[in-house]
Structure 1
Amino acid sequence: MARTIKVEIKRQNTPDAAPVTEKFEIPYRPGMNITSLLGEVAMNPVTCEGKPSTPVTYDSNCLEEICGSCAMLINGKAMMACSALVDKLQGGDENKTITLAPLSKFPVVRDLAVDRSVLFENLKKVKAWVPIDGSYDLGAGPKQAPQIQEQRYPLSNCISCTICMEVCPQFNDATGFVGAASIAQAKLFNLDPGGSVLKEDRLRALAGDGGVQECGFAQNCVQACPKGLPLTEAISDMGRDVFVQQVKDFFRR
């Protein structure tokens, strides 16, 4: 018999609907990832029980681990669907069922698609951008030392996937923690010669509720980050800078 892949998908038609689990059996192809598996479901949305269903809703764009949109829980672990390979997930056990579910710490839109706008609201809080006066040509920017470039480059690889927030025990409604990604981006723009004009504003934002003091250094974020960002190092550095800024503000009163 031809090899097949069994997959269980947690589905939800609307944000308020009760979740259900549907099981599918998909023809196996070498080199399949979760994105291609979901594509097979879309072409033939019939469950293992022979019940007609619908294509699974999920976010995706680049299909090469750059856009960060296809993050979901795969076998209970937060991963990118485009880089999660079926063979690796099954670990040599062809009968192992793959489970898919939406990220658990964000409101479900439908099926595997969630609303991650909280990340972008947090990026606004820490002013994670380089301010400019307008769209006209501002000329050559200030030079950066190679040492600063080496610190900034890894942080610039953040793809806003929110996996670091999903795995963080401190990221919840009770703490309002902004998450590792926002703190790392604050460090990225504080190191930028143009972005540093907002450095004090960013540090004061991170000194407030939900700021860097909420981090418990569980280090789940740095282990789960698909791009290998130095998140715990960024949090530690920003914690130091926030403290120094608070001392400066105290003596300025």
Structure 2
Amino acid sequence: MTETMAAEKTATAARTVKFIITRQDTPNSAPYEETFVLPYRPNMNVISALMEIRRNPVNVDGKKITPIAWEMNCLEEVCGACSMIINGKPRQSCTALIDKLEQPIRLAPMKTFPVVRDLQVDRSRMFDSLKKVKAWIPIDGTYDLGPGPRMPETKRQWAYELSKCMTCGVCLEACPNVNSKSDFIGPAPLSQVRLFNAHPTGEMNKAERLNAIMGEGGLASCGNSQNCVQSCPKGIPLTTSIAALNRETTFQSFRNFFGSDHA
């Protein structure tokens, strides 16, 4: 090993990473901050740091504490479970690399959703909204229905982009219109309305979905801040979907007025 390589290895071993984590013991208890200092390792991400704290739950004062609670699953930005506030911005902790974050690194739970414990939140609000807009393709029975109608390639391409949504909740966290005083369902469920209405089979329930977002907490509650499209980790064109739905709901309101049930 050369002297340069030995020096670099020593310098890496001496480096540390400082975390200031907002914790909360129960859904109703007051939040508080706790500081942790970890040895630096190359290619660390926030999740690997949280795993290290869980393995050795000791804070900066050397006090043994209860392990930090957070959610994770796929570890490759697909499941959306590990969303949290990192240095003031909502994002996925699995793709947040330590080398690209300013220290001290501050972790906090998303504020749009109720805290369960520490960094773990209850995202039921978003899932309930997906139920409200029927974000699924209904089938009649469990038997083989044969091949369905084909989608035009141009429609399939943009529909695929919408299908990348992983219900991480980041767009809801970034949206100023989604909060405890508002019943706005948020950008992700709205985009799913456009996705499932574009499906040849899902289109059968198009009018039902459009009517669902024309009511309280629906499309009219969007303030068009465009924070959602800027924060989406998958780059989904959420504002494009919202604009398209504004047009579709306008036509649907005319259909409702003239007594047509067809979308």
Deviation at 1:54, TM superposition (A): 1.9
Query: After the TM superposition, which parts of structure 1 deviate over 6 Å for at least 4 consecutive aligned residues?
Result: none
Contact 2:112 2:180 in 1 (8 A): no
SS in 2 for 1:252: coil
Higher radius of gyration, 1 or 2: 2
Write the deviation string for residues 58-111 of structure 1: whole angstroms up to 9, x where unpaired.
000000000000000001110100000001012xxxxx2000000011100001
Paired residue type of 2:151: Q
Q: What is the deviation of 1:175?
A: 2.8
Match of 1:29 in 2: 41
Structure 2 distance, partners of 1:151, 1:251, is 31
Q: Deviations over 1:163-206 (max 9, x none)?
A: 00001011123331110000000000000001001000000001
Gaps of 5+ in 1: 91-95
Q: What is the match of residue 19 of structure 2?
A: 7
Match of 1:213 among 208, 220, 236: 220
Q: Give me the whole-angstrom Cα distance separating, in 2, the residues matched to 1:103 and 1:113.
A: 9
Q: Tell me the residue number matched to 1:93.
A: none
Deviations 1:22-80 (A, max 9, x none): 10000100110000010111111111111111221000000000000000000111010
The match for 1:17 among 21, 29, 44 is 29
Structure-2 separation of matches of 1:157 and 1:20: 35
CA distance in 1, matches of 2:189, 2:51: 32
1:79 matched to which residue of 2?
91
Q: Which residue of the partner structure matches residue 117 of structure 2?
A: 110
CA RMSD of aligned residues (A): 1.0
Q: Give 2:187's aligned amino acid.
A: A
Equivalent-residue separation in structure 2 for 1:118 and 1:175 (angstroms):
11
Q: Which residue of 1 aligns with 2:3?
A: none
Q: Give the match for residue 81 of structure 2.
A: 69
- Residue matched to 1:144: 151
Partner Cα separation in structure 2 for residue 218 and residue 194 of structure 1: 32
Does 2:256 match 1:244?
no
SS in 1 for 2:258: helix
Secondary structure at the aligned position of 1:6 is classed as: strand
Count of residue correspondences: 248
- Residue 31 of structure 1 aligns to a residue in which SS? coil
Map Cα deviations across residues 101-132 of structure 1 (whole Å, 9 max, x no partner). Answer: 00011100001000001111001111111010
8 A contact 2:171–2:229 mirrored in 1:
yes
SS of the residue corresponding to residue 127 of structure 2 reads: helix
| Partner amino acid, structure 1, of 2:21 | I
- Measure, in 2, the Cα distance between the counterparts of 1:37 and 1:174: 34
